[in-house]
Structure formats: C-alpha cells, structure tokens
Amino acid sequence: FAFHPDLKKWTEIGNSGVFRPEMLRPMGLPENVRVIAWGLSLERPTMIKYRLNNIRDLFGHKIDLEQTRTAKLYRY
C-alpha cells in the first residue's frame, strides 16, 4: 500500500499470494511444492491517473480504443 495525497487514502499498489494445489497439479509439480507469487500492480495507479472507476474500462473487450489511442504517454 502507498498513501495517495490527492485521494487522501491508502491505495493498493501490489499484490501477493500462494498458488492453490489444484493450479499446480496440471504443471506436474509434486504435492509438497508451494509456490508464491507477488508483483506490482500497474492497473490501480493507471486507473487513478486516468480517473477510471472500473477496471473493465482499462481491460476487456469493451474498452474505449479511442482513449487508448489518444492518451498521453509519460516517460521518466
């Protein structure tokens, strides 16, 4: 989590978890193997930047392609 000064609240910017055994079986991993995953979430900061309230406005088959074409790119 990170504090967002404009929103005046803590916002999730990362996620983590443990894979369930039924997800690992098809990969041929032994039953005693545990797999963890973690990463940064670019979706939430992008939603805040472009004032999107619904993740489906950013991903999926109903996104606004014109917004995608005309959005400014930021470089650091």
Does one domain contain both 49 and 33?
Answer: no
> Alpha-carbon distance 53 to 67, whole Å?
15
Q: What percent of the chain has pLDDT over 70?
A: 95
State residue 63's pLDDT score.
82
State residue 23's pLDDT score.
92
Does one domain contain both 3 and 32?
Answer: yes
The boundaries of the domain holding residue 36 are: 1-41
CA distances from 23 to 15, 17, 19, 72 (A): 18, 13, 7, 38
Query: What is the dihedral sign for C-alpha 73, 57, 63, 59?
Result: positive
Count: domains in the chain: 2
> Alpha-carbon distance 45 to 59, whole Å?
14
State residue 52's pLDDT score.
84
Does one domain contain both 57 and 34?
Answer: no
State residue 68's pLDDT score.
76
Does one domain contain both 60 and 37?
Answer: no
Does one domain contain both 14 and 48?
Answer: no
